[in-house]
Amino acid sequence: MRRKLIAAIGVAAMMGVAACGSDGGEDAQSGDGDKTLTVWVMDGSAPEEWVTELNKEFEAAHEGVTVEIQTQQWNGIQEKVTTALSEDAPPDVLELGNTQTAGYAVTGGLADLTDMKDELGYDTWNEGMLPSAELDGQLYAAPWWAANRVVIYDKSIFADAGVEPPTTREEWVEGLQKIEDETDAQPIYLPGQSWYVYSGFLWDEGGDLAVEDGDQWKGALATPEGAAAMNFYEELQSFSTAPKDTDEATPQQSTDIVPKGDVASWIGLGWEANGAIAAIEEAGGEADFGYFPVPGKTAEQPGHVFFGGSNLAVPERSQNKELAQEWLKLATSEEWMKKYAEATGGAALPNSQAAQITPEPGSFAEAMVQSADVGRLTPITPGWANVETDPNPVKQYMTNVLNGTDPKKAGDDADEAITERINQG
Amino acid sequence: MSNTTLAGPAGAPNAVAPRPPSAPDRAATRARRRKTLGRIWPNLLALALAAFFVFPVYWMFSTSFKPAAQVLTKTPTFFFTPTFEHYGTATEVELFWTFVRNSLTATVGAVLIALVVALAASFAIVRMKFKGRKGLVLAVMMAQLAPWEVMVIVMYLIARDAQVLNSIGFLTLIYFVMVLPFTIWTLRGFIAAVPKELEEAAMIDGCSRTQAFFRVIFPLLAPGLMSTSLFGFITAWNEFAMVLVLNKEPEAYTLPLWLTQFQSAFGNDWGATMAASSLFAIPVLLLFLFLQRRAVGGLSAGAVKG
Amino acid sequence: MTVQTTEGATPVTKEPPPSGPDSRPPGEAAPRGRRSLPSGWLPYLLIAPAVLALTVFLGYPLVRNVLVSFQQLGRMEMISRATVWTGFDNYVELLRDDAFWAVVVRTFVFMAVNVALIMLGGTLIGLLLNRLGKAMRLVLSLALVMAWAMPIVASATVFRWLFDTQFGVVNWVMRSLGFAGYEQHNWFQTGFSTLAIVTLLIVWASVPFVALNMYAGLTTISGELYEAARMDGATNYRIFRSVVFPLLKPFFLITTFLEIIWVFKAFAQIYALNQGGPNRESETLPVFAYVEGMSQMQFGVAAAASVLTILILIVAMSFYFRLILKQEDEQ
């Protein structure tokens, strides 16, 4: 510490410019009074009203504390979090995607919350959300929300074409064909790299993104299951004019594509549906959305979906660890989770059964909970986070196959990259 | 030695040869020689080339003024009622003016420091003999090869350990060192172009070495300083790999970061993105139009000297 | 414009340099003024700030970079701040990796094509500028300055927009010219076409520098020289080869040197257009090192890649270094 201090003084003196604390955060740490608690939330995760209310209550209970919310983009988030966690003054609370949490827990960058289990209400949490927040029996994060994708469709376009929400893949494709034949609309908007959607199809076939191989993992896209899943994806994608080399966030399907009209259906999360509705209303229109679960191979069971979600964690090096844990506790408490569920209209599942609200008929949430039972996670190993870094081999695989590469060959290339990355520390 | 003789050599620090006859003279000789056809094709070619070089710039500005509905069309519209709405969207971003201030501080600061430091160093390199001079020249040359983009992580580690993350001051210093080698190198050419006799003459006239430098050499270097600073300005103004990693606090962002993040946040809103690009480009465009007359030839006079 | 650029080439001061306040007869001041190369501490004092700055902000990071290249530094080591020495592992991994060698080859091909196009285009346009009448020269020069002045981040954004799949104006132009298949043509579908667009962007942005300076250089060549050559019956090509080229040799030397460095180091253009994709097929060495390091958090491997990049660059440029040092001796 001392050496670091000397180095700091040296550099500051050399530059004649002191390190600029940006917003008085530096002063805040020295005094007992004014403190700023920095919270990183991901784009789309925290409804504005909810988070404002929450902070108001928190600030009222902790005098002199200001909570600063900084919204982050998913794109490039891992490098940002990695460097931030290595710093002396990282953000105090972090939202981490459930596929990435283990990757950070293993580094020791996250504060161990095991002692707070009771306070946090560990026993009431949804079991499905736990695996991503724990590592080797220790708790490193509190589950916050979880959600899965459903098909969002424009009721009037479906009605024009005389198409009912499908319950099987066959009906789904038939319906899309009918929309293509009878309307001017794009039957489905599906960009080439929507890899969570692909994962669902892969699970439908009984395959997986990566499988355990002794004490190692290896990629499993170059399999008959991988090819079959991709085959179906390609069939759907052929109904779309979406680019084959981007994912659903570039351009943002919910706010850039759907509101412009003429999209009969698309696959998205609750916050995306809400975003699209807001954008349409802002432009003076009215959204008329219906929702159905991603159809499965048979009518008995909907298709598998990726059970996405986020956890809240406190960086080990946080300067306001206790306060941060307080905030985390409040945000994930039953009371506030209930408000969260209400704020999202049930489109995001809160961390406990008790906080859940009953979805309204015809809502996104109603369709979503239907496939919650067949929700799956990406391979649970710290190395998985490496696979998701850019350029993501699963996305590349999809684009390659869509552009005509043999699935086996594209799969072999992708598996090589996945195997190498997933086994990295 | 009189002042008039002094001005003589100052007028011609040309790299290669005496000045050509004036343009009209040459044009006249040529006109006599060339047939009409021979004069048309260069002009046509020049027009085509001018269109090629100006088009992307034109398209940027034109998109930025287009009403939103006319931006995303299959067939582009060339005539429209200009609107400023995209500029509104672009500048409405929180902290926009902070970014502007940060960018200006880092860029102008880096260029000014670099000019002062480089002036001293290049003067020593050109006009003085000292041990290690050749080594320094080689080092300056090699320093231009520094791949800064791939050194970001090391810079990050250094900044983190010295606790100067999110600091515009530190950024300014990095930019200063980024532009320093090129600045030394070009200024060196300019100083070499100023005849030594001039300085000596001034000293004979009673100036001290310092006085001789500031009164005689410095004014002659003006074009050199301008063209050099132009290059430094572009380099620092454009930089984003470093600031992306070093400055995570929004308060410490610079404009390139705003532009790249703006793009991902606004996705398909090309009108606003082009407005943002325009805003980012305008200062440099203006600077070029002001300084270009000095800079263009100036660089050849300086750099050609090598 | 003629007048402007020519003026720029020869820095003429309006006022004659002032003489010292108390002008003395030349003879008296001579002893002090005669020797022009002082030795002692003054030169060291003058270069000290530059040397210090380069040492602290470039030398030290470079050393640190070499150190990191011998370490395993990933997400884990970064956050826990652990130092794990792994010797030459990173280098071995890279040198054994076919992908790395593919990137090296690609970088050199890319560089050669770009520099050749820039130098050729710049020279030809410079010669054209010299032939044009006043008005046309002004028009072309202004267009060149515009392209030159565009900041890279902005121009990369603009090119992305020009070549946009759905609404790009280039696809529209191709359709209007009657080419089929440009309804939704994705210009960034392969590494090759991505690099072709990067090349267009770099050439577009770099040619003005060469052309305008070439022209400025040409204006310094006396018209009589051309006349004389023409009298001897020399063709245009011969005039260029035996009059213009030898006189402007230093110009070509330096400009090519600069362009090689600039193109080799080109990062923002490639990264901003397509992040080195698709399938990492448009990565050149700097982009490769950045993607390995920042995106995939293999900072040790990235450091090794950057050390190799620097070494390759130094070896490739050693010819130039020698040439320039030789010039240095002559001065």
* Ranges A165-179, A216-230, C29-43: which has the least confidence: C29-43
Does residue C230 or residue A49 have the better pLDDT?
A49
User: Is C166 close to B304, i.e. CB distance below 8 A?
Assistant: no
* Distance in angstroms (rounded) separating the CA atoms of residues A312 and A306: 19
Confidence (pTM): 0.83
> Exposed (0-12), middle (13-18) or buried (19+): which is A276, by Cβ within 10 Å?
buried
* Ranges A139-143, A196-200, B31-35, B200-204: which has the least confidence: B31-35
Contacts of residue A78, defined as CB under 8 A and 6 or more positions apart, other chains included, come to A100, A385, A388, A389, C297
Going across the sheet that includes A150-154, the strands are: A265-268, A150-154, A289-292
The residue type found at A390 is D
Does residue C41 or residue A141 have the better pLDDT?
A141
- Chain C positions touching B7 (Cβ under 8 A) are 13, 16-17
Helical H segments across A205-256, by residue range: 224-237
Does residue C84 or residue A20 have the better pLDDT?
C84
pLDDT, residue C33, reads 40
Q: Please state whether beta strands A150-154 and A289-292 pair in parallel, antiparallel, or not at all (unpaired).
A: antiparallel
Helical H segments across C190-248, by residue range: 191-218, 223-231, 236-239, 245-247
Peptide bond into B250 cis (omega under 30): no
Supply B112's token pair: 């000014």
pLDDT at B102 over 50: yes
Which secondary structure element, helix H or strand E, spans residue C72, and what is its range? strand C71-72
Instruction: Give the relative orientation of helices A224-237 and A407-422 as an angle to the nearest 10 degrees.
Output: 110
User: Is C186 close to A390, i.e. CB distance below 8 A?
Assistant: no
pLDDT interval class at B211 (50, 70, 90): confident
* Distance in angstroms (rounded) separating the CA atoms of residues B202 and A387: 69
Instruction: Give the relative orientation of helices C41-54 and B133-143 as an angle to the nearest 10 degrees.
Output: 20
Is the CB of C289 inside 8 Å of chain B's CB atoms?
yes
- Structural domains in chain B, CATH included, are 94-303 (1.10.3720.10)
Peptide bond into A187 cis (omega under 30): no
pLDDT digits (tens, 9 = 90+) for A259-299: 888 899 999 999 899 989 999 998 888 999 999 999 999 99
Residue A121 per-residue DSSP state? T
When CB atoms are compared, the residue of A76, A82, A413 closest to C75 is A82
User: Is B172 close to A83, i.e. CB distance below 8 A?
Assistant: no
Supply C34's token pair: 């005669």
pLDDT at C219 over 90: no
User: Is B297 close to C3, i.e. CB distance below 8 A?
Assistant: no
User: Is A107 close to C75, i.e. CB distance below 8 A?
Assistant: yes
pLDDT at A198 over 80: yes
Neighbours of chain B (3+ CB pairs under 8 A): A, C
* Distance in angstroms (rounded) separating the CA atoms of residues B51 and C204: 12
Q: Please state whether beta strands A93-97 and A35-42 pair in parallel, antiparallel, or not at all (unpaired).
A: parallel
**Helix, strand, coil distribution of chain C in percent, nearest 5:** 75, 0, 25
pLDDT digits (tens, 9 = 90+) for C239-249: 888 888 888 88
The residue type found at C169 is V
* Ranges A51-55, A69-73, A82-86, A321-325: which has the least confidence: A69-73
pLDDT digits (tens, 9 = 90+) for B56-73: 999 999 999 999 888 888
When CB atoms are compared, the residue of C81, C165, C294 closest to A86 is C81
**In a 3-state reduction of DSSP, which class is residue A28?**
helix
* Distance in angstroms (rounded) separating the CA atoms of residues A364 and A347: 6
**In a 3-state reduction of DSSP, which class is residue B15?**
coil
Mean per-residue pLDDT of chain A: 88
**In a 3-state reduction of DSSP, which class is residue A38?**
strand
pLDDT digits (tens, 9 = 90+) for C278-308: 888 999 999 999 888 888 888 999 999 999 9
Q: Which residue of C has its CA nearest to B124?
A: C43
Residue A263 per-residue DSSP state? B
Is the CB of C319 inside 8 Å of chain B's CB atoms?
no
User: Is A20 close to B160, i.e. CB distance below 8 A?
Assistant: no
End-to-end CA gap in chain C: 33
* Distance in angstroms (rounded) separating the CA atoms of residues B138 and C318: 11
Q: Please state whether beta strands A265-268 and A138-139 pair in parallel, antiparallel, or not at all (unpaired).
A: unpaired
Is A85:A317 a contact under the CB 8 Å cutoff? yes
Phi/psi at A184 (nearest 5 deg)? -90, -5
What are the beta bridge partners of residue A146?
A309, A349
Report the alpha-carbon angle C138-C140-C143, nearest 5. 105
> Exposed (0-12), middle (13-18) or buried (19+): which is B44, by Cβ within 10 Å?
exposed
- Structural domains in chain A, CATH included, are 30-146+308-355 (3.40.190.10), 150-307+363-422 (3.40.190.10)
- Chain A positions touching B166 (Cβ under 8 A) are 19-22
Instruction: Give the relative orientation of helices B255-266 and C152-162 as an angle to the nearest 10 degrees.
Output: 20
Mean per-residue pLDDT of chain C: 84
When CB atoms are compared, the residue of A20, A250, A255 closest to B166 is A20
- The answer to whether ipTM exceeds 0.85 is no
User: Is A8 close to B162, i.e. CB distance below 8 A?
Assistant: yes
Supply A227's token pair: 């090819």
In which residue are the tokens 């230093």 written?
Answer: C250
Q: Please state whether beta strands A265-268 and A150-154 pair in parallel, antiparallel, or not at all (unpaired).
A: antiparallel
Please compute the mean of the pLDDT values over residues A337-345 and round it to a whole number: 91
- Chain B positions touching C216 (Cβ under 8 A) are 296-297, 299-301
Closest-CA residue to B153 (of A315, C77, C55, C282): C77
* Distance in angstroms (rounded) separating the CA atoms of residues C249 and A378: 62
Instruction: Give the relative orientation of helices B85-92 and B270-303 as an angle to the nearest 10 degrees.
Output: 80
Peptide bond into A393 cis (omega under 30): no
pLDDT, residue B35, reads 60
When CB atoms are compared, the residue of B156, B252, B265 closest to A22 is B252
- Chain B positions touching A92 (Cβ under 8 A) are none
- Chain C positions touching A109 (Cβ under 8 A) are 79-80
Mean per-residue pLDDT of chain B: 82
* Distance in angstroms (rounded) separating the CA atoms of residues A224 and A207: 9
What are the beta bridge partners of residue A306?
A376
Is A295:A168 a contact under the CB 8 Å cutoff? yes
What proportion of chain B, given as a percentage, has pLDDT over 70? 81
Long-range contacts at C244-248 (CB < 8 A, ≥ 24 apart):
C244/C127, C244/C218, C247/B16, C247/B17, C247/C221, C248/B16, C248/B304, C248/C214, C248/C217, C248/C218, C248/C221
pLDDT, residue B267, reads 66
* Distance in angstroms (rounded) separating the CA atoms of residues A312 and A310: 7
Interface test mutation site (partner B, options C15, C37, C54, C73, max chain B beta carbons within 10 A): C54
Closest-CA residue to B138 (of C44, C318, C321, C49): C321
Does residue A184 or residue B305 have the better pLDDT?
A184
Please compute the mean of the pLDDT values over residues C199-224 and round it to a whole number: 90
pLDDT, residue B55, reads 96
Please compute the mean of the pLDDT values over residues B32-44 and round it to a whole number: 72
Interface test mutation site (partner A, options B264, B269, B273, max chain A beta carbons within 10 A): B264
Is the CB of A159 inside 8 Å of chain B's CB atoms?
no
- Structural domains in chain C, CATH included, are 41-87 (no CATH), 98-330 (1.10.3720.10)
pLDDT digits (tens, 9 = 90+) for A367-393: 998 888 888 999 988 899 899 988 899
Is B177:B235 a contact under the CB 8 Å cutoff? no
* Ranges A34-48, A198-212, A318-332, B191-205: which has the least confidence: B191-205
- R_g of chain B, CA atoms, integer Å: 24
**In a 3-state reduction of DSSP, which class is residue C84?**
strand
Does residue C39 or residue B291 have the better pLDDT?
B291
* Ranges A182-191, B297-306, C56-65: which has the least confidence: B297-306
pLDDT interval class at A127 (50, 70, 90): confident
Q: How far is CA A156 from the centre of its chain?
A: 30
* Distance in angstroms (rounded) separating the CA atoms of residues C95 and C101: 7
Going across the sheet that includes A65-72, the strands are: A65-72, A35-42, A93-97, A308-313, A142-147, A349-350
pLDDT digits (tens, 9 = 90+) for B262-275: 776 666 788 999 99
Supply A104's token pair: 């950070």
Phi/psi at A119 (nearest 5 deg)? -55, -40
**In a 3-state reduction of DSSP, which class is residue A281?**
helix
pLDDT interval class at A4 (50, 70, 90): very low
User: Is B16 close to C221, i.e. CB distance below 8 A?
Assistant: yes
pLDDT digits (tens, 9 = 90+) for C114-170: 999 999 999 999 999 998 888 999 999 999 999 998 999 899 999 999 998 888 999
In which residue are the tokens 């991994």 written?
Answer: C93
pLDDT digits (tens, 9 = 90+) for B138-172: 899 889 888 888 788 899 999 999 999 999 999 99
Is A350:A340 a contact under the CB 8 Å cutoff? yes
The residue type found at B281 is A
pLDDT, residue A42, reads 93
Is the CB of A409 inside 8 Å of chain B's CB atoms?
no
Please compute the mean of the pLDDT values over residues A228-247 and round it to a whole number: 94
- R_g of chain A, CA atoms, integer Å: 23
Is A166:A218 a contact under the CB 8 Å cutoff? no
pLDDT, residue B293, reads 66
Q: Which residue of C has its CA nearest to A106?
A: C76
Q: How far is C249 from chain B (nearest CA, A)?
A: 9
Is C303:C293 a contact under the CB 8 Å cutoff? yes
